[in-house]
Structure 1
Amino acid sequence: MPPAATNYEIAQVCLLVGKIMLENGGETYRVEDTMSHIAEAFGIANSHSFVTPTGIIFSIDGPEQTTRLIRISSRSTDLRKVTVVNAVSRRISQGELTPNEAYALLESIQADQRRYPLWVQMLAAAIASGCFLIMFQGAWSDFLPAFVAGGLGTFALAYFHRLVPIKFFAEFLASLLIGFIAYLSVKTGFGHNLDTIIIGSVMPLVPGLLITNAVRDLMAGHFVSGVSKGAEAFLTAFAIGAGVAFVLTFYPGKGF
């Protein structure tokens, strides 16, 4: 019979679960709920977690009281990892995994760096941009300019984010490129309606998941996380708007 797991080992599993979920687009209330369920499945009746977008505090009450803090330094969107971690959580709840087995499995999930290739992301963004243009009642003749601007905008976002770790500047430069391509397409007669081309092309950059998570956290009573994510979404929207506005100042009839 394997020795009983220590509070430290259980806390390690809970923190790693929370870290993976939070770094890949999980909502704050879902992270806390999952950590509590895992601790309970391992026999910990009294556990407490405090989750913010930049850190997780997890504590276990009792004679061997354990309190751990982990820092969240980067966040992205990979809902596949969130789904896989949820599956691990269910296996833990069903008693199929020990803390050591669960931790090893979670480490492999965290180390998995599989992503869609950049060309696939560009193609998906390009198609989505053209479809958004049509959804916003744009002309089919502008589908190709939006297709090109949306795809190159996604490439620019990934490229500039590697050069400049600050996401705000990468989003600003990507939207600036989208605005310039849209303006150039209209200027050369390749496109016709500047507004719909720009609107369709910037949609892949809009922080939809971030806004959704911010609202859901606020509704669940997690005001610190909700306001923080809302502020991050606002900065992203401001960066996109500033890049487009900079281009529009040089477009006759559309400037400020």
Structure 2
Amino acid sequence: MEQENSKTYKIVEVCLLAGKIMLQSGGETYRVEDTMTRIANAFGIYGSHCFVTPTGIIFSIDGVEPTKLVRIVERSTDLKKVTVVNSISRKIASGELELDEAYQRLKAAEKADYKFPIWIQIAAASLASGCFLIMFQGQWKDFIPAMITGGIGYPCLLYFDKLARVRFFAEFLSSFIMGLIAALLIKIGIGTELDKIIIGSVMPLVPGLLITNAVRDLMAGHLVAGLSKGAEAFLTAFAIGAGIAVILSFR
């Protein structure tokens, strides 16, 4: 009996770990709940219940105490981790992985860093800024100014995010710096269209994944998660807009 309870608790730990990794890495709420339920079913637990919000996961099994809660403090975008957990859950469902091996692989995935090096992220943000400018019908002579603005503003976002630990202030300050750089480039005669340069450079800051997940969660019936993610996306957009508005108000 004690051994059976120990195995059940280990299954709960595996389910919670898989859900935690996916939620922290940008996975949708319904995908997290579905993955946790499938893992539990694969190990013979059919009476599982999970409730997922952007800041926490509650998981329980019928007849087993206690219900467990995992707090989600930090969230980022790392879809590679979501893919890895999906792959592990599929192998569990097909019977290829035992309980202990699955737990070890999930722990390894949690510790792994699949993100690109910082310099590649900055280069991609810079190039994307110039491409967004062209997409929004900007002039080709503003392509380089947009790249410069985005290439300086994005590392500022990474720096302020680590410094302040408050995403709102990091986005506000980085967009403020982007607007300031764009205005300076216009003043010294390098750029021509301030609005297009600003729009192109701030696009890498736009919370596209948050907005997408909010809509998908709302459509899937996860109203609490959908509304909270929508509110977070709105605050991010507000912070970006406020930083740019400060610059424009002084022109």
Q: How does 1:38-53 map to 2 (within 5 A)?
A: 38-53=39-54
The superposition leaves residues 98-141 of structure 1 with CA deviations (integer Å, 9 ceiling, x where unpaired) of 11111111000001124212111110001000000000000000
Q: Is 1:83 matched up with 2:106?
A: no
Q: Tell me, which stretches of 5 or more residues in structure 2 are unaligned?
A: none
Q: Is the 8 A contact 1:214 1:229 kept in 2?
A: yes
The superposition leaves residues 162-212 of structure 1 with CA deviations (integer Å, 9 ceiling, x where unpaired) of 111101000001000100011011111100000000000000000000000
- Partner letter of residue 51 of structure 2? F
| Rounded Cα–Cα distance in structure 2 between residues aligned with 1:48 and 1:230 | 25
Residue 225 (structure 1) aligns with: 225
Residue 98 (structure 2) aligns with: 98
| Rounded Cα–Cα distance in structure 2 between residues aligned with 1:242 and 1:4 | 54
Q: Is the 8 A contact 2:80 2:114 kept in 1?
A: no
Q: Is 1:141 matched up with 2:141?
A: yes
- Partner letter of residue 38 of structure 1? I
Instruction: Report how many aligned residue pairs link the two structures.
Output: 249
Residue 198 (structure 1) aligns with: 198
| Rounded Cα–Cα distance in structure 2 between residues aligned with 1:121 and 1:145 | 18
TM superposition shift of 1:67? 1.6
The superposition leaves residues 54-80 of structure 1 with CA deviations (integer Å, 9 ceiling, x where unpaired) of 000001113x44521110000000000
- Partner letter of residue 214 of structure 1? A
CA RMSD in angstroms comes to 1.3
Larger proportion of helix: 2
Q: Is the 8 A contact 1:132 1:203 kept in 2?
A: yes
Q: Is 1:173 matched up with 2:173?
A: yes
| Rounded Cα–Cα distance in structure 1 between residues aligned with 2:8 and 2:71 | 20
Q: Is the 8 A contact 2:78 2:114 kept in 1?
A: no
Residue 24 (structure 1) aligns with: 25
Residue 37 (structure 1) aligns with: 38
Q: Is the 8 A contact 2:25 2:79 kept in 1?
A: yes
| Rounded Cα–Cα distance in structure 1 between residues aligned with 2:6 and 2:109 | 22
Q: Residue 97 of structure 2: SS of its match in structure 1?
A: coil
| Rounded Cα–Cα distance in structure 2 between residues aligned with 1:206 and 1:70 | 28
The superposition leaves residues 204-228 of structure 1 with CA deviations (integer Å, 9 ceiling, x where unpaired) of 0000000000000000000000000
Identity %: 64
Q: Is the 8 A contact 2:126 2:146 kept in 1?
A: yes
TM superposition shift of 1:7? 1.2
| Rounded Cα–Cα distance in structure 1 between residues aligned with 2:159 and 2:117 | 13
Q: Tell me, which stretches of 5 or more residues in structure 1 are unaligned?
A: 252-256
Q: Residue 59 of structure 2: SS of its match in structure 1?
A: strand
Q: Residue 6 of structure 1: SS of its match in structure 2?
A: helix
| Rounded Cα–Cα distance in structure 1 between residues aligned with 2:5 and 2:84 | 26
The superposition leaves residues 142-167 of structure 1 with CA deviations (integer Å, 9 ceiling, x where unpaired) of 00000011111110000111111101
Q: Is the 8 A contact 1:5 1:99 kept in 2?
A: no
| Rounded Cα–Cα distance in structure 1 between residues aligned with 2:66 and 2:27 | 25
Q: Residue 143 of structure 1: SS of its match in structure 2?
A: helix
Q: Is the 8 A contact 1:134 1:143 kept in 2?
A: yes
Q: Residue 143 of structure 2: SS of its match in structure 1?
A: helix
